[in-house]
Structure 1
Amino acid sequence: MSYKKYYQGFLTANAKVQHFACHSHHYWPDVTRAAALQYWDDSARLVDDKWDYIFGEKVPKVQKQIAGILKLQKPEQLVFAPNTHELLFRLLSCFDWNKPVRILTTDSEFHSFSRQIKRLAELPQIELVQVQTLPFADFTTRFAEAAKKLQPDLVFCSQVFFNSGLAIADLTAFVTSIAAVCQATIAIDGYHGFMALPTNLSELEGRIFYLAGSYKYAQGGEGCCFMLVPQNNGLRPLYTGWFAEFGTLAAAKTSQVQYSKDGYQFAGATMDFSALYRLEAVLDLYHAEGISVAKVHQHVQQLQQAFLAELKAQQHPLLNEQKLLCADLQNHGHFFTFMLDDAAKVAELSAYLKQHGIHTDYRGDRLRFGFALYHDASDYDLSCLSLRRGE
């Protein structure tokens, strides 16, 4: 089945492009344009009263939509922010940095975390341990062993690693193995898993923080990220905004700063909610058309197989299955990563592909190809690679 009819705006604007950078910059369905205009119209119609409308109707609706996708029972424990870095830093601000803080993570976290945590690790009281994700076959075992040894205050790990596409096959078992050996606060970066891999957090609700957003596979564009917050966690973010007072504004004032009793305990301040409108429109579209995450995943798996067949036909010395980082195609992110020996060659190859209308992206020695609902396998054409077989 072709799903292109939902993406005519972006596809028409990029008619001569094979867009394999969708794991980074995903095309938006056409319904998001009307949603953006609706945000303008609602702002004009309601002016200051729009906040009551947004928090009274829009936010609860999208919370329920996300909760349905992730199999959550308490949608009110989801909090929104413009980016995951803001949510991450709010979580980090719960720890007392005047005392030793031990943090366990990996060497493959996205920049919103890795840059910030490396900067914090310059402080003498921050102890940072990064477990290598490769070799991946024993990663989860090695990570649990590191947790037992370090006894961290915070554990932060991705569901799908952005620089490889490698995915933790059983997230519940992974979290359980960590919780069995330490008492850490556990946070999972789900950005490359949400709306890509079927994800059931029902057994993890109340146990983990889970961060994701709409920029990638949720297809709503930038500006709408969210975090699942465990209920009754007892934390008091130092980095906090007035949205976090919702639910307490009518209470008797005390000298201590009060926090909302739900996920908005971790809220910030005034933000542009047009992205939430776009995300709502995408999720409405999926519901109306019967498009589940499982169907998206199945479609992408078929695309990945077609891509590998096309790649095999080219017999390229660098882009081939031997260079592909993959442990299990049935439990893999929606992009492929080829790890080469030379970062300069990767940059050159990506540029060459772009000259031939094939858009990819790369990080150091890794070249990435993403797959999306708006792809048809019949469109794949990598014949330009045959011109470079001898290089």
Structure 2
Amino acid sequence: MYKKFYREFLQAPSGSPSSMLHMACHSHHYWPDVTLDAVQQYWRDAALLADEKWGPIFEEKIPSWQAVIAKSLNLPRADLIAIAPNTHELVYRLLSSFDPNKPLRILTTDGEFYSFTRQLQRLEELPQVEVTRIAKEPFATLAERFETELHRNEYQLAYASLVFFDSGVVFPQLLDIAAQKPQDTQFVIDGYHGFFARPINLSTVADKIFFTAGSYKYLGAGEGLCFMTIPENCTMRPLNTGWFAEMAELENRSGKVGYSDNWLRFAGATMDYSTLYKALAIFDLFHREGITIEKIHRYVLDAQTRFLDSMDKSDHPILNRSNLIYHDLEQGHGHFFTFDCSQPEISQRVQEELKARAVLCDRRQQFLRLGFAIYHDKDETYQQVFNS
């Protein structure tokens, strides 16, 4: 159905018994064909315009990107979507907005992605920083436990993933919790494993949260283009700030550090915009073909159902229901499955066995992850995963 939009990445390596089945797509989606022309157009524009390229980039390309992001997340203001090469840069810029001379209490979970986890561990070395981590499991009680703690103490920052990177499980009622957050708590949602995979409606929390995601995973535009939504009337003054934040005032600098009431408040500095061109080309392709996030999500849900059917029939010693970290496929799961193999050595062995059968997946310690994408055939039964 959708495979026609992708180049033949899916051929098996020499000596492999069957066609390639790419199931590491939760980490890096293959790029649609239109991205090749987009990269070449970026090269032509940059080479021809040189420094003049900033005009069309800031006046046309970035607003177009912001507009499609706002539409996909149901946000009221596209100009409150900041961009950067990665989400870590944006989150750290937000962290730099807090007064370093005052206590900083942060509420999060024990299931956040490595970059934020590492950054918090480093910040905890400072005497004024205190971090509280809520155990993500059991998932059935996570929402209640997180919300209770959020209102029990005075937290300056709360941070949680919409879809956990290590399991694919959706944080239950996270948007509802954010909607009722304490007024003085800044609330950040890591939406990377939900963006352009699951339908997301931020209309009721747009003025209460920062939402981060990017193009590397489910959009399929590659690395180097991430975003963070900003609540309206935000007055934070990042200590980590770059010259792009003064883009509108470069010719009339006053000598004071001012901040715009739009996305430039969290702007950084020079970056490569080739991925911006790729992302816009993909949005244009999907718009022409009538491909929506809702259709993508339904397509993947159907694929996941076929996978589970094949798995249940296979009686695989590792890839089975007892090892699957599973919450609620229809309402509470992202676009990949994770199996707890109990030991890193076992997950590595299974990964190698799958690769020998031309199935590409990835792992995190003892956790083996298998993802789904719209370039999987619509009648794929995933027998290739289970046949030994």
Report the TM range for the smaller structure's normalisation. over 0.9
1:237 correspondence with 2:238: yes
TM-score under structure 2 length normalisation: 0.95
Instruction: Identify unmatched segments of 5+ residues in structure 2.
Output: none
Instruction: Identify unmatched segments of 5+ residues in structure 1.
Output: none
CA change 1:384–1:325 in 2 (3 A) is closer
Shift of 1:231: 2.3
CA deviation map 1:240-282 (0-9, x unaligned): 001111334455614x301222011101001000011111111
- Residue 215 of structure 1 corresponds to which residue in structure 2? 216
For 1:10 and 1:18, how far apart are their aligned partners in 2?
A: 10
- Residue 142 of structure 2 corresponds to which residue in structure 1? 139
Identical pairs, percent: 46
1:49 correspondence with 2:52: yes
- Residue 77 of structure 1 corresponds to which residue in structure 2? 80
- Residue 368 of structure 1 corresponds to which residue in structure 2? 369
Supply the RMSD in Å over aligned alpha carbons.
Answer: 1.7
For 1:383 and 1:220, how far apart are their aligned partners in 2?
A: 27
Work out the number of aligned pairs and report it: 383
- Residue 10 of structure 1 corresponds to which residue in structure 2? 9
- The one-letter code sitting in structure 1 at the alignment partner of 2:58 is F
- The one-letter code sitting in structure 2 at the alignment partner of 1:362 is R
For 2:56 and 2:269, how far apart are their aligned partners in 1?
A: 17
For 2:35 and 2:385, how far apart are their aligned partners in 1?
A: 34
Query: 2:139 touches 2:172 (CA, 8 Å); kept in 1?
Result: no
CA deviation map 1:66-97 (0-9, x unaligned): 11101111000011100111101101100122
Query: 2:10 touches 2:21 (CA, 8 Å); kept in 1?
Result: no
- Residue 298 of structure 1 corresponds to which residue in structure 2? 298
SS of aligned partner of 2:105: strand
Pairs within 5 Å for 1:24-63: 24-63=27-66
CA change 1:366–1:35 in 2 (3 A) is same
Query: 1:209 touches 1:229 (CA, 8 Å); kept in 2?
Result: yes
- Residue 122 of structure 1 corresponds to which residue in structure 2? 125
For 1:154 and 1:89, how far apart are their aligned partners in 2?
A: 12
For 1:160 and 1:384, how far apart are their aligned partners in 2?
A: 24
CA deviation map 1:164-213 (0-9, x unaligned): 10113544312124x15x63100000000000010011111121100000
After alignment, is 285-294 or 373-382 more displaced? 373-382
- Residue 350 of structure 1 corresponds to which residue in structure 2? 351
CA change 1:381–1:13 in 2 (3 A) is closer
For 1:366 and 1:85, how far apart are their aligned partners in 2?
A: 24
CA change 1:304–1:149 in 2 (3 A) is same
Shift of 1:154: 0.5
Query: 1:338 touches 1:366 (CA, 8 Å); kept in 2?
Result: yes
- Residue 317 of structure 2 corresponds to which residue in structure 1? 317
- Residue 98 of structure 1 corresponds to which residue in structure 2? 101
CA deviation map 1:101-154 (0-9, x unaligned): 101111111112111111111212110111111110010110011212332111
Query: 2:143 touches 2:172 (CA, 8 Å); kept in 1?
Result: no
- Residue 269 of structure 1 corresponds to which residue in structure 2? 269
- Residue among 13, 20, 28 paired with 2:23: 20
For 2:357 and 2:312, how far apart are their aligned partners in 1?
A: 19
For 2:12 and 2:241, how far apart are their aligned partners in 1?
A: 40
Pairs within 5 Å for 1:321-336: 321-331=321-331, 332-336=333-337
SS of aligned partner of 2:212: strand
Shift of 1:384: 6.3
- Residue 228 of structure 1 corresponds to which residue in structure 2? 229
For 1:130 and 1:327, how far apart are their aligned partners in 2?
A: 21
SS of aligned partner of 1:318: coil
Pairs within 5 Å for 1:142-221: 142-177=145-180, 179-180=181-182, 183-221=184-222
For 1:195 and 1:169, how far apart are their aligned partners in 2?
A: 19
Query: 1:231 touches 1:263 (CA, 8 Å); kept in 2?
Result: no
Shift of 1:232: 1.9
CA deviation map 1:13-43 (0-9, x unaligned): 8783211100001111111111100100111
1:283 correspondence with 2:290: no
CA change 1:82–1:384 in 2 (3 A) is closer
Query: 1:240 touches 1:266 (CA, 8 Å); kept in 2?
Result: yes
SS of aligned partner of 1:210: strand
After alignment, is 65-74 or 163-172 more displaced? 163-172
SS of aligned partner of 2:66: helix
Query: 1:21 touches 1:368 (CA, 8 Å); kept in 2?
Result: yes
For 2:385 and 2:253, how far apart are their aligned partners in 1?
A: 69
SS of aligned partner of 2:47: helix
CA change 1:9–1:41 in 2 (3 A) is farther
Query: 2:142 touches 2:171 (CA, 8 Å); kept in 1?
Result: no
SS of aligned partner of 1:160: coil
